[in-house]
Amino acid sequence: MTAFPGVGDAMPDIAMTAADGSAVKPSDFAGRKLVVFFYPKDDTPGCTTENKDFSHLSEEFAKAGTALLGVSKDTPAKHAKFAAKHGLTAPLASDAEVGGLSDALGIWREKQNYGRTYMGMVRSTYLVDAQGRIAQVWSPVKVKDHAAQVLESARAL
């Protein structure tokens, strides 16, 4: 089994596509802390709540010198629609390419639901320090109060 990056390791610097179609990668945030939160799918109840919670706290994250980036496999156009519909302020990125960041981190994997097996995103959050190293990992994530917990860890880092 492959060992995936964890606490103390460099965050893989793999490009994704932002909602506006531009490329975005972890090194774009060098010199400040970064929270990358991976979620399964736009516009589903848990994912909407998680995105709203991070967006609601985005100013507090900024005060803590921490950027936010929400990631799923959804298309940039779907991200833009999702963000507009719910007034989301945390930037979103599409990690749709095979071999993308979620693959490199080992969180795009086989899941089961109601006897059906499929590939899916394990809801996970990575706190990356200003030097690009993974400082903390939450996986799998329970949405309730998660964004506030991540904010406290970002402030302490």
Gyration radius of the chain's alpha carbons: 14
Give φ, ψ of 124 to 5 degrees: -145, 150
C-alpha 152/C-alpha 119 separation (Å) is 32
Rounded CA separation 26/131 (Å): 11
> Where in the sequence numbering do the catalytic residues fall?
47
